[in-house]
Amino acid sequence: MADRSRGFMRDEFVTYAYILLYIALSSGQIFFNKWVLSSKEINFPYPLGLTLLHMIFSSVLCFLLTKVLKIVKVEEGMTLEIYVTSVIPIGAMFAMTLWLGNTAYLYISVAFAQMLKAIMPVAVFILGVAAGLEMMSCRMLLIMSIISFGVLVASYGELNINWIGVVYQMGGVVGEALRLIFMEILVKRKGIKLNPISLMYYVSPCSAVCLFVPWIFLEKSKMDGNGPWNFHFVVLTLNSLCTFALNLSVFLVISHTSALTIRVAGVVKDWVVVLVSALLFADTKLTVINLFGYAIAIAGVAAYNNHKLKKEASRVTSETPGDGESIPLVSLPNTERG
């Protein structure tokens, strides 16, 4: 009995350790990216270049883990048709999301960017209705209205609003919403289930190619114009490694808990980012209106997550593996930007 109790406590400790690791890595990665992009010491204001570096690093590590060391197995079932019609669009939208979202950090504060990201469920729902994946209902309309109202209030309370940064951030939101729609099509209509490492194994090279093309035209000339490339190798390698570790932490949390836990942890992380960024960065000045609006938006996001998880649970219980349906993992959050 005592051994069983100690085993239970050990499992609980490990679970909470994974959750705290995810929150710390997710929050820290956002601050790390902001610092690399805006720090005069690093002098690397190239969001495209930074994101391209992340994707190349992720591609190499995923290849080593799955094909060389064989620590993680890549799920079977991927075909050329699925790769072209689903993985490439997911990779392209992922690249767009990371590029525009990281660029936004050059113009707006981390806290305000996080507040604008709360509008994500609205974009996902609207695009889902257009794609035939969601059904319009009074309940969902109310939830979307609450989220939108909260984001508007938070934006109204922003003291130093920069509309260029807002446009970049909202572009990143649209890209992320499209990525999630393509993910849902991949798992629902094509029956492919992928863990985070397998997903990054397929998506990272595609995203790297999609980022390389605009990088040549938009940032390479700027980097060449500043003289010989002066990479802070250790800093950029650590930054890329933290990004990969964040993706791995999502896998650990989901494998030891549930999709609900990762969503709740994500809400906690959002508040940590907003509050801590006010202490770390001089461009972050929170107001009561900011926090009030964000609290309203987060309440709407929580209601949306609860609705989606109940819907997913009812769908899974109504299906069995014998029906010929695969039961996929819930779509993962965008870990690259936290």
The DSSP-derived string for 2-71 is: HHHHHHHHHHHHHHHHHHHHHHHHHHHHHHHHHHHHH-TTT----HHHHHHHHHHHHHHHHHIIIIIS--
Identify the domain containing residue 135 by its residue range: 28-310
Confirm if 19 and 264 have CB atoms less than 8 A apart: no
pLDDT in tens, 42-52: 778 899 999 99
Q: Is residue 21 part of a domain?
A: no
Q: Is residue 22 part of a domain?
A: no
pLDDT in tens, 207-263: 999 999 999 999 988 888 776 666 788 888 999 999 888 877 876 776 666 655 666
Q: Is residue 121 part of a domain?
A: yes
Total domain count, the chain? 1
**What pTM does this model have?**
0.81
Query: What is the C-alpha to C-alpha distance for residues 235 and 33, in angstroms, rounded to an integer?
Result: 11
pLDDT in tens, 52-99: 999 999 999 999 988 998 887 887 778 888 889 889 999 999 999 999
Q: Is residue 106 part of a domain?
A: yes
Q: Is residue 8 part of a domain?
A: no
Q: Is residue 335 part of a domain?
A: no
Q: Is residue 219 part of a domain?
A: yes
Q: Is residue 99 part of a domain?
A: yes
